[in-house]
Amino acid sequence: MQSRFGGSGARRAGLLAAALPLLLAPALARAQGADAAAGRAKVEAACAACHGANGVSVADNIPNLAGQKAAYLENQLRALKSGARRNAVMGAVAAQLSPQDIANVAAYFASLPGASMAGAKSALLPGLAKTSVTLPADHRKTFIMYQTVNRPDINQVRYLYANDVALRAAREGRPLPDGSHLVLEQHAARLDADRKPIVGPDGFFVADRLVNYAVMERGAGWGRDIPENIRNEDWQYAVYAPTRELRTTVNQAECLACHKPLDKDSFTFSIKALTEAAKKR
């Protein structure tokens, strides 16, 4: 039998069934106690460094979350928190969110309008837009190279250097103190005719060209203006171009979040290699 709306009763029932989850979503959020106002406070404290306080991200490689569906955001955050979805930056942040925080953050982002124009970006947070980290004038002579690492996933070979302050602390088994300074050189590997990295006699890729200097340094009070959820005590980070110019568009929040879980290792992925090298000197 045709309905007065121009479709069959079965079709109407199907449309109603499809629309039901959308109709019930606000009620479900209320039943779960999602609090968008509390979500805003958590976003400003924990998410704004990358995704922007208004859900418009600070960089093209970070998604906008404004106007995204709450259920989708909750599912993704739960997966990141549990480890079912792996992302070094977001996993570290989501691990610090309670189930209530997740519901609140999702509700807040879902309540926002999307970006007003294509390519819109939020400004970096003031405490992250600047860095105190320097690139030493001649680290290859004044620092010690303590590790070489192949990165086949991105066809790079990396050389890591440390200053005397970091070496001394590592040798003595102490956490790396203020004044510690580490430099990582990122080099594109030389490729063969099949576009595979050429391996030298030492087992490491042959360096072709310098891509970046990634630097981490620690100074008294340097973490004061960094959001607590990504703070690495008093470490800060910076990336310098091969010309030794600071790359001002790099958001050190991503470095901070990635290193955040390494609090027992002086926030350093290479602490074991650094300690072994220091003890040989």
SS3 content of the chain, % helix, strand, coil (to 5): 40, 15, 45
CATH number belonging to domain 12-123: 1.10.760.10
Instruction: Name the strands in the sheet holding 235-240, side by side, starting at the edge strand that comes first in the sequence.
Output: 144-151, 156-162, 181-189, 207-218, 235-240
CATH number belonging to domain 129-279: 3.50.70.20
**pLDDT score recorded for residue 118:** 78
Q: What are the φ and ψ backbone dihedral angles of 146, each rounded to 5 degrees?
A: -115, -10
Q: Map 100-147 to HEC letters.
A: HHHHHHHHHHHHCCCCCCCCCCCCCCHHHHCCCCCCCCCHHHHCEEEE
Q: What is the pLDDT of residues 79-128, one digit of tens each?
A: 999 999 999 999 999 999 999 999 999 999 999 998 877 778 999 999 99
CA distance 255 to 54: 22
Q: Which residue type sits at 8?
A: S
Judge whether 254 and 89 are in contact, CB under 8 Å: yes
**pLDDT score recorded for residue 51:** 97
Q: Say yes or no to pLDDT of 4 above 70.
A: no
**260-267-175 Cα angle (round to 5):** 140
What DSSP letter does each residue of 238-262 carry, written as one string? EEE-TTS-B-TT--HHHHHHHHGGG
CB neighbour class for 58 (10 Å; exposed up to 12, middle 13-18, buried from 19): buried
- What are the start-end ranges of the E strands in the chain? 144-151, 156-162, 181-189, 207-218, 235-240
Q: Say yes or no to pLDDT of 207 above 80.
A: yes
Q: What are the φ and ψ backbone dihedral angles of 223, each rounded to 5 degrees?
A: -90, 0
Kindly calculate the radius of gyration of the chain based on its CA atoms and give it in whole angstroms. Answer: 24
More confident residue, 11 or 231: 231
Q: What is the pLDDT of residues 164-190, one digit of tens each?
A: 999 999 999 999 999 999 999 999 999
Virtual CA dihedral for 80, 82, 84, 89, nearest 10 degrees? 30
**pLDDT score recorded for residue 31:** 39
Domain edges within the chain: 12-123, 129-279
Q: What is the pLDDT of residues 36-63, one digit of tens each?
A: 999 999 999 999 999 999 999 999 999 9
Which contacts of 125-132 are long-range, i.e. CB under 8 A and separated by 24 or more positions? 125/48, 125/49, 125/227, 125/253, 126/225, 127/224, 127/225, 127/226, 127/227, 128/49, 128/226, 128/251, 128/252, 128/253, 128/256, 131/236, 131/237, 131/238, 131/246, 131/252, 132/217, 132/219, 132/222, 132/236
Q: What are residue 186's DSSP bridge partners?
A: 158, 212
Average pLDDT, the chain: 90
pLDDT band at 229 (very low <50, low <70, confident <90, very high): very high
**pLDDT score recorded for residue 32:** 55
